Structure 1
Amino acid sequence: MAEQKLKIPLAYRALFLYFEPAAALFGALLLHFRPEIFLNTMSPVAKYATDNQVIYDQLFATYTLFAFNEAVILRITKDLRVWKALLVGILVCDAIHLYGSWAALGGAVFWDIRSWRPEDWANLGSLWGQAAVRVAFLAGVGLKEAIPVKSE
């Protein structure tokens, strides 16, 4: 099967190679060092408990993996299949994250942007926006420069 190499448009590179890894790393550090701030961003009613730190540290590891995958793996390949596979995985995570936010905030807040707190804008606004860009990439928007090449 021919590998598809491509020139990634600047908007995608900026989001997937720089902004998202930095945001994931920031979230990872918050999870480890200031989990109560992270938790408040996700749910205004949830309370931090120190005996649950292991859960935050496990999520810290996951966010660090996201940062690594986007900052490193996507940089070392121009194979469209690899980019799409990784971004589908993150899109699945986005969907589950959005479901969790809907469950925590309730539908009345989740669907009404007028009721969002600044924390909700940081969480939900970035999730929806980044997921939309991910869907555009997966749909091939702006990827007309992909060229199939023979695998070695």
Structure 2
Amino acid sequence: MSALLPPVPRLVFTILEPLACIGGYLAPILDTASFASAQVPSITPTQYTSTTQILALQLGNCYGLIALIAIGVLYSTNEAKVVRNYLVACAIADIGHLWVTYEVLGYANFVDVKGWNSLAWGNVGFTFFLFVTRIAYLAGLLGKDRIAADTKKRV
């Protein structure tokens, strides 16, 4: 299916997003304490606990799962409907991700773009970029899907 997407959505959804999710998978594995404490840029890290560790690692695992699902869906189907439904689900999840981040960061930190660390850029900036790109694609603003080549043999 990746060849059926217009160029910009293809680049964003089949390359950039999976790579970012792989980074989100690796970050807590490589340095769990830093990953956990950097989630809220303006707050001094609290005591690093087993709960903090498991939640950070589980979050990383979710990012790995998202990467695998994106690759699995976008590289294996020739059906635009499947891709569109996948991207609708991702857009809904983007809203949830942004809302949760807003709730924890609070308004001042959420809009303080100058004060964002790399995790805030990922949690807010990149997620918002993905959401806008998904909506633009779904609205047809980024070009039309290419027609899938007929892969069925004719008798």
TM-score tier after normalising by the smaller chain length: 0.7 to 0.9
Moved segments of 4+, more than 3 Å: 114-119, 145-150
Structure 2 gaps, min length 5: none
TM-score where L is the length of structure 1:
0.80
**What is the total number of aligned residue pairs between the two structures?**
149
Answer whether contact 2:29 2:60 (CA < 8 A) is retained. Answer: yes
Corresponding residue number in structure 1 for 2:72: 72
Structure 1 gaps, min length 5: 1-5
1:32: Cα distance to partner? 2.5
Answer whether contact 2:17 2:67 (CA < 8 A) is retained. Answer: yes
Q: Percent identity?
A: 28
Residue pairs, 1:52-131, within 5 angstroms: 52=51, 53-117=53-117, 119-131=119-131
Q: Deviations over 1:40-77 (max 9, x none)?
A: 44212253624122222322221111101112221111
In structure 2, what is the Cα distance between the partners aligned to 1:118 and 1:33?
15
Corresponding residue number in structure 1 for 2:132: 132
In structure 2, what is the Cα distance between the partners aligned to 1:96 and 1:21?
19
1:17: Cα distance to partner? 0.7
Q: Does 1:144 align with 2:141?
A: no
In structure 2, what is the Cα distance between the partners aligned to 1:48 and 1:88?
38
RMSD between aligned alpha carbons?
2.9
**Bigger relative contact order, structure 1 or 2 (CA pairs below 8 A, ≥6 apart):** 1
TM-score where L is the length of structure 2:
0.78
Task: Identify if the C-alpha distance between structure 1 residues 78 and 143 changes in structure 2 by more than 3 Å, giving closer, same or farther.
Answer: farther
